[in-house]
Structure 1
Amino acid sequence: MNPTSPLRHVFGGRAARNLTPAVLAAVITAGTAACGGSESSSQGTARSTRTVSPEPTRTRSATASPRTQKEFAASVSAAAERNRQQAVKQLEGVQGRGNAVKDVSVSGLPVVKSEQFRSALVRVTNRTDKAAFYAVKVEFVESSEKVLDSVVLGFADVPPGQTASQHANSRKAAGVKTSPRIAQAERS
């Protein structure tokens, strides 16, 4: 590049050498048009300018989270266990069925002979005006009304007017036709 070149003056020696051919051509075209090209009209010289941005630099891709999938699952399991333990403590002092039985529904999921556990979907709807913790005890009952197992779930910080759901799972009722029912439900 010529030492008196307009590009050297605008960009400096090294920067001009690092420009891609497409950007360099656009800069030369824009510079020629701005300095008065061959287009003219009776009113004077027609000028067109164009802003040329350099190609965006590539950034490194986001790095993987330092937590593995196994660690994440363990974290979720630990949180569920803390909620369950809090629910067990909350239900210890409850007389009768509790203050939130009408806010909870349960439905059994289909039974498969080869299943390793019996599962029921438990839904809690917070009908109050502030977030609440719900402790729910689900029983798995045979047709003879014999309770095969009971499972306690904790629903933390259910927003007002919202519904939260969890599965109640029982290994003791696995492969057996049972009906799930809400034994107790307490809101705090």
Structure 2
Amino acid sequence: MNPSPERPSRPVRSRAVSAAAAVALIACGAATLVACGSDGDDADRTGFSERPTLPLTDSFSGSPPSALASAASAAAESARAAASSAAASASAREASRQASVGAEAERSRREAEEELEDVQGRGNALDEVALTGKPRAETNGVTTAVLTITNKTQDTASYAVQVDFVDSAGKVVETQFVGEEDLAPGERRQPLVTSRQPAETVLTASLAKAQRY
């Protein structure tokens, strides 16, 4: 038998080039198929979405406040509200205090007046009460007197005092009553007595009665 003729071998370089061309052709075809077969549904399935569009700012003037600026504004408003509330509360407390003081003074005045109703003469405590006038320049021209009440006994005592305001003719124009309660032995108090008459009315304060009880 005659040996079969040898098949001529292809050059190695030629085989490599052919293989590379085939791979490139397959890849191109796959890419073409993906490009042609893709639509909106495919995009949704792959999890991709369109890039968000930034808001238009052409119609705005200035810039919106930052979070820090808004927080600072809120804090300032809160501080103003707190200060206003505190001021209102302080004003209410002061008004309440003055009302309480006024009510107590009125109660003491009435009690002193009632105590002196049945007193004969000028009372039993004239030597324990002194009266001094205040300069009119210090009282806006209103006649005001200072009573000095001193408990000279060995027991706790209360005092009722009557002060008359007399005009230049010696006529009693106004009468005021002052009460001071529970003075300890040796204790001294100095309440003020102020006339309700107009400042232009020239008056003199006079100690009319003083009773210890």
- When normalised by structure 1's length, the TM-score is 0.60
Residue 163, structure 1, aligned to residue 188, structure 2: yes
Which letter maps to 2:111? Q
Give the whole-Å Cα distance in 2 for the aligned partners of 1:173 and 1:90.
Answer: 29
Q: CA RMSD in A?
A: 2.3
- Relative distance call for 1:145 and 1:173 in structure 2 (3 A) is farther
Q: State how far apart, in whole Å, the 2-side matches of 1:98 and 1:173 are.
A: 30
Q: CA deviation at 1:148?
A: 1.6
Counterpart pick for 1:134 among 151, 156, 159: 159
Letter in 2 for 1:105: A
Secondary structure of the residue aligned to 2:106 is helix
What is the total number of aligned residue pairs between the two structures?
A: 124
For structure 1, the residue ranges without an aligned partner over 5 or more in a row are: 1-63
Residue of structure 2 in register with 1:175 after alignment: 200
Q: Secondary structure at the match of 1:137?
A: strand
Are the equivalent residues in 2 in contact too, given 1:111–1:177 (CA < 8 A)?
A: no
Residue 176 of structure 2 corresponds to which residue in structure 1?
A: 151
Deviation at 1:178, TM superposition (A): 2.2
Q: What secondary structure sits across from 1:89 in the alignment?
A: helix
Q: Which of 1 and 2 has greater Rg?
A: 2
Matches within 5 A, 1:1-188: 68-112=93-137, 115=140, 117-172=142-197, 174-188=199-213
Structure 2: how far apart are the matches of 1:74 and 1:162? 27
Runs of 5+ unmatched residues, structure 2: 1-88
Q: 1:78, 1:148 → 2: CA distance?
A: 25
Residues 1-55 of structure 1, C-alpha deviations (whole Å, 9 max, x = no match): xxxxxxxxxxxxxxxxxxxxxxxxxxxxxxxxxxxxxxxxxxxxxxxxxxxxxxx
State TM-score, norm by structure 2: 0.53
Contact 2:162 2:208 (8 Å CA) reproduced:
yes
Tell me what 1:7 maps to: none
Question: 1:173 offset after TM fit, Å?
Answer: 5.8
Percent identity between matched residues is: 37
The structure with the largest strand share of the pair is 1
Q: Which structure is higher in helix share?
A: 2
